[in-house]
A and B are shown apart, each in its own frame.
Chain A
Amino acid sequence: MSDYEVSDDEYYYDDEEMMDGTQDDDEYDEMDMDDDYNDYNDDFKVDTVPKKKSYEIDYESLSQADVEELMKQDVEHIVGITGVEECAAAILLRHSSWNKERLIEKYMDNPTGLLVEAGVTVPEQPEPTTSGSRAHSVSASSPSTKRSTRSSSKILSSFVPSSRNSSSKVSSSTTGSSSTRTSSTLMKRLSPDPSPTNSNEPFTCPICFDDSTDLKPMALDCGHMSCSGCWQAYITSKIRDEAEHCIRCMAEGCQIVSPDSFVKKVLTSCGDSSMMGVDVEANKIAWSRFQELLARNFVASVPSLKFCPYPSCTNTVKCTDAALKSSLTTIVPTVSCGARGIPGLEKSSGEESGNNNKNSKSKGTSGGSGTSSSILANKEHKFCFGCPIEADHRPVVCAIAKMWLKKCEDDSETANWIKSNTKECSQCQSTIEKNGGCNHMTCKKCKHEFCWVCMGPWSEHGTQWYSCNRYDEKAGVDARDAQSKSRASLERYLHYYNRWANHEQSAKLSVDLYAKTEKKMEDMQLTSELTWIEVQFMKKAVEEVEKCRMTLKWTYSMAYYLAPGNQKELFEDNQRDLEKAVEDLSELLEGPIEPEDIPNLRQKVTDKTVYVQKRNEIVLDDTAKGFHEGRWKWNVPVEGFEDDEAGFDA
């Protein structure tokens, strides 16, 4: 089906690869390492491979075909219980947002009512005999939408006595049949007789008014006939222009939904009717789009499923752990859909990205020879199952990440400006901007007069209007103290924000670092006898640095909201260790490379990489465990944590 579809086996492989910490063991094994490192690496492997890390969650990647399989299972389940046809079961499920329990309950309660409501069957219509009962039958036929009832009843009400005539006249002229029927409601006026018993009458399509003999009349269960060409045009326009998967009958007010089989029949049966100028290609596109819409509807309805948000990726991730909103206070559901690359960025066909997926060797090759854009293009589709804000905001939970980003969006620039352009009145703490004039300030609010330079009261300044030499005056010192206190919260925020922003910036620059590192790797191969595979340690290190910077970045948002105490101190210790390690490694990578120094450098970088990795593990692991245990306490109320808090206090 789609180019990016990958078979199940590949997914499992991918999962395994993730389980061992995205380490590519082959590469390390091939490297000539000293025992120390090997031991370390082995320990590391033994430690992590068998069990899931605390900061990772179980999830499953599904292709569209897999999603369709899940849908089929649900449909079969409903068919088994209710005994309705497959197509009907699918419509029922979509109608009840794939909530099987509710559907079954409702079905058992009132099967006919539900079938009518969902648009599977035609409601029982009392045969309208008089014009008086017309309004009744109209409103009965469209019970679900108030507005359509309104419009139909309005149409009816518009019939002044004389127009009864006219409507029956139109009926005879448009349908070309059943002119004997006197009960010509407007509803039926334009639709043909539901049961065209008289086959001698030529069929005229009520939509396009074509009456050629080779027309293929089609209708849903409700019997509202129209030609296949009109059905095609209608269904393709619904699918393409409105992205609608629930396609109702064309007759006005008719609630019957066309089953998938009918849509398929309409869109694929057109091959023979070439005289209609049918666009077979467009129909094919519409059909596949229809299937996609059905899958999207299913995924959107089921809380444990999420679509991959990357452009034109059709994969889905199933994550049962993160399905409940309340679970988002204990886990950070970072998942990845299994596909790689963004189609637009990749020159080569999508199949290759599928192959890269399972074959880490080929991934390595393309990474080594490609440019920095290919690194980007080859990234896996990582995203957060719980929120749309950022792909990977581990270790902080969605609520904190969201709060932090909101604060930064609202505050950071303002806070910076306030910090650099204003001072507070030493008496009433109003924020004051000095927009000109001399240093003799008078607070607009409390009329306090002070000196802008030393912040002391103006009364001590005498007549020295334009300069202040009284820095050490006691009143001035006190005023500055008060000022600094009132600035503390601002300073505190900026402290965290600046570090957060710094790591974000560095992570962004890592694309350049990649390019630079690749250049260095090439140089290294030229100047020393190291082979391509042996210089991969540089790339590994850069990757690790980028990853750790993302972790570090989010730890600052976490630290900002953590309530002071031992837990926070431990957290910040871990954070400091990681940060120091990352900076050291960064420095090594950025530094110049002397040919004679390469073996030494390689040793250092490799060691540091492993150390950094380990520190990152610790931070992620400890934070995730903290969330599980409810260890973290916040200095502000955080969405979702209120109950927790109460539970712990009790």
Chain B
Amino acid sequence: MDARLRRVNKEISDCKNDKTSNITLELVDNSPFHLKGSFPGPEGTPYEGGNFEVDITIPDAYPFQPVKMKFITKVYHPNISSASGAICLDILKDAWSPVLTLKSTLISLQSLLCSPEPNDPQDAEVAKHYTTSKASFDETAAYWTQIYAGGPGPKASLKGDNIKDKDNKKGKGGMMDEIAMAGLEKAHVEQFESLGFPKAKVIDVLKRLNYRGANVSSISEDRIVEELLK
């Protein structure tokens, strides 16, 4: 039997037999080389309670070349692209070793959620948010976990029918989400919205300028209006 197939089969069955790690692997399109992995968000983090799904592609040269992974579930994290789910992690690149397995790699992803590395970001905007205001970042990350990964959410007030809006966040009902989604304060957005700017644009500009936490005092309102007028 092909060494790669044997190894992948073994890895999949190992994962099935291991009930304690809560990591699952399942086939996509019946090919053992395209898998979907999932793991629970680590405890004590904003990702707690969520279930995170990862798209796994096994390259031809596996295990001598690293496995290709990206998040299917949207994650608000400095080292994970909020748009594409691409992951910035050394073991998926040059630090890969053939003794690493799908399971151990997924465990590494889980621990990446525990300890973000904002100095080596995949998503610069998220990383900025993380470094300026950790509390606000945690709130947003928990919100994303709730919306996309089925987590409990940061506050009880945000729970409820918002989950249904996850696919039409551009719609009217989703406006409220959009603000929390971008990790902004509702009051700030409304302040500029009342000047007559469209909400989406306000959110976009405030997000770009990182109008959060301590930064709020250092960015003048004129500067924001200037950006909004561009």
Contact = CB atoms under 8 A, between A and B. Distances in A.
Interface of A: 145, 147-148, 150-151, 154-155, 157-158, 160, 162-163, 165-166, 169-170, 173-174, 186, 189-191, 206-210, 224, 226, 229-230, 233-234, 237-238, 241, 250-254
B99 A151 contact: no
B90 A158 contact: no
Given A190-B99, A207-B7, 8 more contacts: A151-B91, A162-B20, A174-B101, A186-B107, A207-B98, A237-B61, A252-B97, A252-B100
B161 interface: no
B21 interface: yes
B108 A210 contact: no
Given A154-B114, A251-B97, A252-B97, A209 B6 contact: yes
A154 B108 contact: yes
Contacts of A157: 111, 114-115
Nearest to B95: A148
Contacts of B99: 190-191, 206-207, 224, 250-252
Interface string B70-99: 000000000000000000011100010111
A338 B74 CA distance: 59
Contacts of A237: 61, 64-65
A173 B20 CA distance: 15
Contacts of B114: 154, 157-158
25 contacts: A147-B95, A151-B90, A151-B108, A154-B115, A155-B104, A160-B42, A163-B21, A163-B107, A166-B21, A170-B14, A170-B103, A186-B104, A189-B104, A207-B63, A207-B98, A208-B6, A210-B6, A230-B3, A233-B64, A241-B65, A250-B97, A251-B97, A252-B91, A252-B99, A252-B100
Contacts of B103: 170
Contacts of B111: 154-155, 157-158
A208 B101 CA distance: 11
A166 B20 contact: yes
A163 to B, nearest CB: 6
Nearest to A154: B111
B96 to A, nearest CB: 8
B222 to A, nearest CB: 32
B3 A210 contact: yes
Contact of A163 (B20, B90, B95, B115): B20
B185 to A, nearest CB: 32
Contacts of A226: 98
Contact of A151 (B14, B17, B95, B101): B95
Contacts of A189: 104
Top 8 A-B pairs ranked by shortest CB distance? A158-B111, A252-B97, A154-B111, A237-B64, A147-B90, A166-B20, A190-B99, A208-B3
B134 interface: no
Interface of B: 3, 6-7, 10, 14, 17-18, 20-21, 42-43, 61, 63-65, 89-91, 95, 97-101, 103-104, 107-108, 110-112, 114-115, 117
B18 A169 contact: yes
A170 B100 CA distance: 12
A170 B18 contact: yes
Nearest to B117: A150
Contacts of A210: 3, 6
A158 B18 CA distance: 16
B6 A174 contact: no
Contact of B89 (A145, A151, A190, A230): A151
A190 B20 contact: no
Nearest to A233: B64
A230 B6 CA distance: 13
A158 B97 CA distance: 19
Nearest to B63: A207
B107 A155 contact: yes
Contacts of B21: 163, 166
A206 B7 CA distance: 9
Contacts of B100: 190, 252
Contacts of B10: 209
A229 B3 contact: yes
A206 B101 CA distance: 10
B75 to A, nearest CB: 16
A288 B135 CA distance: 57
Given A150-B90, A169-B18, A173-B17, A190 B101 contact: yes
B24 to A, nearest CB: 14
Contacts of A208: 3, 6-7, 63
Nearest to A142: B95
Contacts of B7: 207-209
Contacts of A253: 97
Nearest to A229: B3
Interface centre among B43, B95, B100 (most CB of A within 10 A): B95
Interface centre among B7, B43, B64, B115 (most CB of A within 10 A): B64
A529 B43 CA distance: 99
Contacts of A158: 42, 107-108, 110-111, 114
Contacts of B110: 158
Given A230-B3, A233-B61, A173 B14 contact: yes
Contacts of B63: 207-208
A252 B117 CA distance: 21
Contacts of A169: 18, 20
A251 B101 CA distance: 11
Interface centre among B21, B108, B114 (most CB of A within 10 A): B21
Contacts of B112: 154
A618 B224 CA distance: 68
Interface centre among A154, A206, A233 (most CB of B within 10 A): A154
Nearest to B42: A158
B90 A148 contact: yes
A210 B90 CA distance: 28
Contacts of A234: 64, 98
Given A147-B90, A208-B3, A233-B61, A165 B104 contact: no
A68 to B, nearest CB: 27
Contacts of A150: 90, 117
A174 B14 CA distance: 9
Nearest to A160: B43
Nearest to B23: A166
A425 to B, nearest CB: 34
Contacts of B61: 233, 237, 241
A230 B98 contact: yes
A629 to B, nearest CB: 51
Contacts of A229: 3
Given A158-B108, A207-B99, A233 B17 contact: no
B11 to A, nearest CB: 8
A242 to B, nearest CB: 9
Contacts of B64: 230, 233-234, 237-238
A126 B103 CA distance: 28
Contacts of B117: 150
